[in-house]
Amino acid sequence: MRYVVCLKVTPKVEQIRFDEVTKAVAREGVENEINDADKNALETALLLKDKHGGSVTAMTMGPPSFDPFLKLAVAMGADEAILLSDRGFAMADTYATSRVLAAALKKLQEYDLVLCGEASSDGSTEQVPASIAEWLGIPRVTYTIEVEVKDSKLISKRSIEGGYEVVETELPALVSVELGCNVPRFPDFRRKRWAEKEYKSTVWGMTDLGFSPDEVGLQGSLTSVEELRKMASPARKAEAVTGTSREVAAKLVQVINASGH
């Protein structure tokens, strides 16, 4: 079994901001990290490997500076890391991003289960996992909280309103993993030192994946951001209640009843 985890490197949530000129997420002067939901996807793959054997491949798209995050995934237990890096990939929307990731999976040829986080903290569109599955022509299961592989089939528990449902599908398949469904493991520190000093990630660019410049990045995107607008928080009514304890309690009861709760 080969499990491939698509990771996204995002700015730390508290540092997310947008470039006023490019209208894209600002990457300069911020601290980056592996997207939280993608850590849950990686842990899901590692749990499957622990139970059934096989290998885990971590993959991300971005500049060379993202390579240390792939090595962190290796330190956590991934067997292989692939960096999709090319200036031509820059400013890609979800359509172009999913197309590149799918092309890399096709180049791998052998994969049984593709795992993604349900959404990224910076974009939160939830479009990339489903789009990858469409490009590959494989089934997908969203909002996954648990997975199991049995008799060459994928059995997924997915979250729905009020509970969960169990979905069975053929492999290969793709799952998008729900944020917080497990606790990602700490990296092995000996393996981390080895990865940082010796491990070499595989790097594929535009020509490696058979793309022309107009098919990827900004030129290959179908959407663009036309305007950035800062939304003000809605004003909240505040009223000071004074008096004795009984008077304050009576007033609060009136307010609650008036609100319909």
Query: Model confidence over 231-252: pLDDT tens digits?
Result: 777 777 778 888 899 999 999 8
pLDDT for 140: 96
Neighbours of 184 (CB within 10 A): 16
For residue 79, the model assigns a pLDDT of 97
Largest CA distance in the chain: 77
Q: Considering the domain boundaries, does residue 245 fall inside one? A: no
pLDDT at 23 over 70: no
Structure tokens at 31: 């601290």
57: CATH:
3.40.50.620
151 — pLDDT class (breaks 50, 70, 90): confident
Distance CA 28, CA 37 (A): 23
pLDDT in tens, 161-183: 999 999 999 999 999 999 999 99
pLDDT at residue 42 greater than cutoff 70:
yes
Pick 162 or 15 by higher pLDDT.
Answer: 162
How many domains are there within the chain? Answer: 1
Half-sphere CA count of 96, side-chain side, radius 13 A: 24
User: Rounded to an integer, what is the distance from CA 256 to the centroid of its chain?
Assistant: 41
Does a structural domain hold residue 106?
Answer: yes
Residue 20 pLDDT exceeds 90: no
**Confidence at 229, pLDDT banded by 50, 70, 90:** confident
pLDDT at 253 over 70: yes
Q: Does the residue 130 lie in any domain?
A: yes
Using the predicted structure, report yes or no on whether residue 93 has a pLDDT greater than 70.
Answer: yes
Mean pLDDT of 52-78: 96
Domain presence at residue 232: no
Neighbouring CB atoms inside 10 A of 76's CB total 23
Residue 233: inside a domain = no
**Average pLDDT for residues 81-107, to the nearest whole number?**
96
pLDDT interval class at 261 (50, 70, 90):
low
Query: Would you say residue 220 lies in a domain?
Result: no
Residues of the chain above pLDDT 70, percent: 96
**Would residue 250 count as lying in a domain?**
no
Confidence band, pLDDT 50/70/90 cuts, at residue 106:
very high
Residues of the domain holding 23: 2-215
Cα separation, 81 vs 256, in Å, equals 56
- Whether 92 and 100 have beta carbons less than 8 Å apart is answered as yes
Q: Is position 259 within any domain?
A: no
